[in-house]
Structure 1
Amino acid sequence: MEEKGKGLKPMRIVVTGGAGFIGSRLVRALLERGDEAIVIDDLSTGDAGRLPAGVEIHRLRAEDAGTAELIASVRPRVVFHLAAQVGMGSSVKFPADDGRSNIVGTLRVLEGCREAGSKLVFSSTSGVYGDSSRSRPLGESSPKRPSAPYGLSKWVAEQYIGFAEKWWGIPYTILRYANVYGPGQAARGEGGVVACFMERIANGLPLVVHGDGEQSRDFVHVDDVVKANLAAIDRGDGEAFNIGTGIATSINGLADRCERLAAASCGRIYEPARSGDVRCSRLSSRKAEAALAWRPSISLDEGLSRLFGGS
């Protein structure tokens, strides 16, 4: 996280999805810098209790017209747009809901940025690529072959953001996250496998694995993701960046690590693979290292040790 007292000029910033797992962590980091953070969150999955007392929060969906109006009225220097429908399986079952949240929601945020003259930092996903190679991590120019409406809606939103720069002159930076984990993550949803494993271990229950467990993911710590967002405030305009570690870990391997750290042997339940799941996801962050001066600093072993150690 950024430290206080570094001579940074305070800014007014809007964070959509600011009561969520990543968003609330980002809000705290912004406040530590001395910035003013205004949160937009419909609290359908977010929790206002994650936020420090006194933070201004507006209960709106990203796709509400009020979101654009609020951004236009408060005129933030930057809008961090994290509000989204993030479930692969949910997007397959309810693609219209996914599109409203991720596409229409992004358009509303862009409308607000246009009126306010704000920069947009957009939280995208490795899901825009679909499956990656086990032998080489994906770069930003890799083909976009989303395996579920979630990845597709994020890719469409990225295209609108690119056009908005041309149409309206909105500066932007796009961050494509790998699988984010860390303190405060809820034990639900397809992306929260670390939190799900921790909860089941704490309750003495077998770990549930979808598929054969040999599917692999690039796990990046939430605090590293927050640092990437802060780096994007003044860097990376007009570009998209992968935010990952470049290291693929199988779900079986993750389960082994979690059980070892917890000194537990819970057993496994293998259930059918979920619709829209990719086999392998692994991102190269070389571009972010060069342009954002960002690189992941917390290894998976270190991040898991912190979680199981309670820090």
Structure 2
Amino acid sequence: MRVIVTGGAGFIGSRLVRALLERGDEVIVLDDLSTGDPRRLPSGVDIRLLRAEEADTADFIAAIRPQIVFHLAAQVGMGSSVKNPADDGRSNIIGTLRVLEGCREAGSKLVFSSTSGVYGEAVGNRPFRESSLKRPSAPYGLSKWVAEQYIDYGGKWWGVAYTILRYANVYGPGQAARGEGGVVACFMDRIGSGLPLIIHGDGEQSRDFVHVDDVVRANLAAIAKGNGEAFNIGTGIATSINLLADRCERLAAASFGRIYEPERSGDARCSRLSSGKAATVLGWKPAISLDDGLSQLFKVTNR
């Protein structure tokens, strides 16, 4: 099967590329390498340097005619989205429209990487379901929600097949140590350098942490299932940032101290996802617990 992975040199995308190659698929990576790193990919992978929001993206997809397009290319920084919402919109909305146009012309199915950020702030610490009210608290979540709406209408207007995956906070090997979404990587990086852990706010905000390999499995499941639907990809377990720091220090068998900095604009207080629909329709459930994932990651980053 021929597939395109946009953002394929990124943290999640590169893991997906490897999994697709192991299946025997023909994989073409579309990435501008602004944040992606080709060293994450096996040698010989076909990489095309192109920004998703460029008009040429649609033409490129139409010419390649893949069966599936996995669209992971995006501006994912919460802080960046607050400071520069126009850049966020160009990447996440216009970029998705270009990919959608290409899928229309090529007859490709689109598997879209979205975010729990479309929901915004949880009410009463309840897990978000796919039907939960969408109230993004930052431009990043808003741009992804708008992109989802375009994809949904693309299915109605043009008959484009699609599946939308809304990720919780993804972590795992290869994640860059920057941004709130990379808090696990940030903690591991600070521990590796013997530095205090930096926490924004009081640390009692909680997140649903899902391992990157579980996210890759969800993408593979979406190839043949879930057409025309959106799915939460998370564990349903909320872990506070303070507790996450405790677990990381326990793995290191040392205390590094903590620096509490001001809370960041746009951060939700609590976010966790119910993935029951993904289990029923996609046959997907998270397989890697946070403790196991952190233990594996600690061994990789400290060997």
TM range (shorter): over 0.9
Give the TM-score normalised by structure 2: 0.98
Q: 2: distance between equivalents of 1:134 and 1:293?
A: 29
Q: Which residue of 2 aligns with 1:100?
A: 90
- CA shift, 1:196, in A, is 0.4
Please show how residues 159-198 of structure 1 align to structure 2 within 5 Å.
159-198=149-188
Q: 1: distance between equivalents of 2:43 and 2:59?
A: 25
Q: Deviations over 1:198-239 (max 9, x none)?
A: 010011100000000000000000000000000000000000
From 87, 92, 115, give the equivalent of 2:77: 87
- CA shift, 1:89, in A, is 1.2
Q: Which residue of 1 aligns with 2:44?
A: 54
Q: 1: distance between equivalents of 2:265 and 2:79?
A: 6
Residues 241 and 288 of structure 1 are in contact (CA less than 8 Å); yes or no, is this contact kept in structure 2?
yes
Q: Is 1:297 aligned with 2:297?
A: no
Residues 6 and 73 of structure 2 are in contact (CA less than 8 Å); yes or no, is this contact kept in structure 1?
yes
User: Counterpart amino acid of 2:80?
Assistant: S
Q: Which residue of 2 aligns with 1:4?
A: none
Give the TM-score normalised by structure 1: 0.96
The gaps in structure 2 that reach 5 residues or longer are: none
Q: Is 1:70 aligned with 2:60?
A: yes
Structure 2 residue matching 1:67: 3-state secondary structure: helix
Q: Deviations over 1:126-181 (max 9, x none)?
A: 00000124542110000000000100000000000010011111000000000000
Q: 2: distance between equivalents of 1:59 and 1:93?
A: 26
Q: State the 4+ residue runs in structure 1 displaced beyond 6 angstroms.
A: none
Structure 2 residue matching 1:14: 3-state secondary structure: strand
Q: 2: distance between equivalents of 1:260 and 1:190?
A: 21
Q: Is 1:206 aligned with 2:191?
A: no
Structure 2 residue matching 1:153: 3-state secondary structure: helix
Q: 1: distance between equivalents of 2:284 and 2:33?
A: 30
Structure 2 residue matching 1:200: 3-state secondary structure: helix
Structure 1 residue matching 2:86: 3-state secondary structure: helix
- CA shift, 1:113, in A, is 0.3
What is the aligned length? 301
Q: 2: distance between equivalents of 1:135 and 1:49?
A: 40
Q: 1: distance between equivalents of 2:123 and 2:191?
A: 31
Q: 2: distance between equivalents of 1:133 and 1:51?
A: 40
User: Counterpart amino acid of 1:242?
Assistant: N
RMSD: 0.8
Please show how residues 30-45 of structure 1 align to structure 2 within 5 Å.
30-45=20-35
Q: Which residue of 2 aligns with 1:136?
A: 126
Structure 2 residue matching 1:191: 3-state secondary structure: helix
Q: Which residue of 1 aligns with 2:231?
A: 241
Q: 2: distance between equivalents of 1:85 and 1:29?
A: 23
Q: 1: distance between equivalents of 2:41 and 2:124?
A: 38
Q: 1: distance between equivalents of 2:297 and 2:247?
A: 12
Residues 125 and 271 of structure 2 are in contact (CA less than 8 Å); yes or no, is this contact kept in structure 1?
no
Q: Which residue of 1 aligns with 2:297?
A: 307
Q: 2: distance between equivalents of 1:131 and 1:247?
A: 16
Q: 1: distance between equivalents of 2:92 and 2:120?
A: 17
The gaps in structure 1 that reach 5 residues or longer are: 1-10
Q: 2: distance between equivalents of 1:78 and 1:175?
A: 14
Q: Is 1:250 aligned with 2:240?
A: yes
Residues 98 and 153 of structure 1 are in contact (CA less than 8 Å); yes or no, is this contact kept in structure 2?
yes
Q: Which residue of 2 aligns with 1:266?
A: 256
Q: Deviations over 1:51-93 (max 9, x none)?
A: 1011100111110111111101110000000000111111111
Q: 1: distance between equivalents of 2:70 and 2:203?
A: 34
Q: Which residue of 2 aligns with 1:227?
A: 217
Structure 2 residue matching 1:143: 3-state secondary structure: coil
Q: 1: distance between equivalents of 2:124 and 2:180?
A: 21
